[in-house]
Amino acid sequence: MASVFQHSRSCCQQRLSRALTSTPKISSPISSALAQRKYSTFSIFASSLSAQPRFLHVNTCTPHQSTTKRHFSPKSPFEQPSLFDAEYERLRLRRNKHIRMHPDGHGKDILPGNYVIKKHPKTGQERKVILEHALGYFWALKELSLTDNKPILSNESIIPAAEAEKFPTLNGLHCLNDEVVNIPDFFTRNNDSKDATAQCTLVALSCKDFGAKLLPSWTKPFDDVLRYGNGSHKYETVRITINEGRIAKLLSPLIVSGTKKNVPEEDHGRTLLYYGDAGEMRDILRMHNIYTGYVFLVDGIGRVRWAGSGEGSEEEVENMIRFARELTTPPRKVLRQSNTSGPRVGKMVSQHD
């Protein structure tokens, strides 16, 4: 290393001497100044070469890293930190575990925050990838064709009361009668007794017009059989339209006027509009696909007891109505049997007993 440095120093000194001995042609004061600056630069460099070489060692490695390798921040997207951080765990635990995802849909693979897990084709290392980047920007439309507009499947039975989870909170919804409400408090506003069987609410949600057109297949039979039938005070239908994005907020007057024209006046107090980000609520209810419609049965204390999506079939609608009736049926009182031993009243007992 020292011989190479001495050789380069001697070469530079020879070039400097040849430059100083030669008489450059100076045709103007500007050329003279440039020449003097050039010679002074060579002089400074030569004087630095005549001094003893000194090396500066900068240790950029941590004590646990080897100093013989260079460590870079991971440029490859496959080199990511742990996937299970605190925020991810918090959102994952809040998801409703009783909602059935379609086996052919993409929803079952979507992580909180709209991510999916991808594997490197060569190394096999896993990483988190944004949903649109992994599946394409039209993944939701493809999923509708794969699942027949049903990203989540209808529950085949009522979710047990002990395992049922609360409907997620969403504040600042606007009724068509100019009232601002919060859910799930709005669903239980008429239940003063706080009894789970006092009422049942069918919540119909949509984010796009296509999904809104699928909801009447659920709401109309529910209204005809339960809301307008016997015991109608126990049943209610609430329609919610989610409008995400800044443009939707600016166009809210037009959205309200258009919705009022399509909704009967008697239902204006039960039709809610929301403007803003509802991503966390949609993730909890597994509403990843915004192009279809979703329905939920909520009991008298705001718990989700049944879920469905897409267009309701005849069998699904019959099950929904049957489940709604079961949710408003008070549990039967079971008489406790006495375990006390002894003779029955009126039985003759001998003295030997």
**Per residue in 192-250, pLDDT tens?**
888 999 999 999 999 999 999 999 999 999 999 998 877 788 999 999 999 998 888 88
What is the torsion angle, in degrees rounded to the nearest 10, for the CA atoms of residue 189, residue 192, residue 196 and residue 200?
-40
SS3 content of the chain, % helix, strand, coil (to 5): 35, 15, 45
Least confident among 111-125, 166-180, 226-240, 332-346? 332-346
For residue 1, give the nearest of 37, 55, 46, 72 by alpha carbon.
55
Residues 6+ apart with CB under 8 A from 89: none
With beta carbons less than 8 A apart as the criterion, state whether 206 and 294 touch.
yes
Neighbouring residues of 200: CB distance < 8 A, sequence distance ≥ 6 = 226, 234, 235, 236, 297, 298, 299, 300, 324, 327, 328
C-alpha 273/C-alpha 280 separation (Å) is 17
pLDDT confidence of residue 83:
46
Is the bond into 29 cis (omega within 30 degrees of 0)? no
Q: What type of residue sits at position 87?
A: E
Q: Which of residues 241 and 332 earns the better pLDDT score?
A: 241
For residue 78, what pLDDT band results from cuts at 50, 70 and 90? very low
CA 240 – CA 168 distance, rounded (Å): 14
Beta-bridged to residue 295, according to DSSP, are 204, 308
Quick one: pLDDT band at residue 304, thresholds 50, 70, 90?
A: very high
Does the structure show a pLDDT above 80 at 318? yes
Q: What is the mean pLDDT of the chain?
A: 79
Distances (CA, A) of 36 to 22, 26, 42, 128, 329: 13, 10, 10, 60, 103
Tokens of 41: 């630069």
Q: Report the largest interatomic distance among the alpha carbons of the chain, rounded to a whole angstrom.
A: 148
6 pLDDT band (50/70/90 cuts)? low
pLDDT at 40: 46
Residue 145: predicted pLDDT: 94
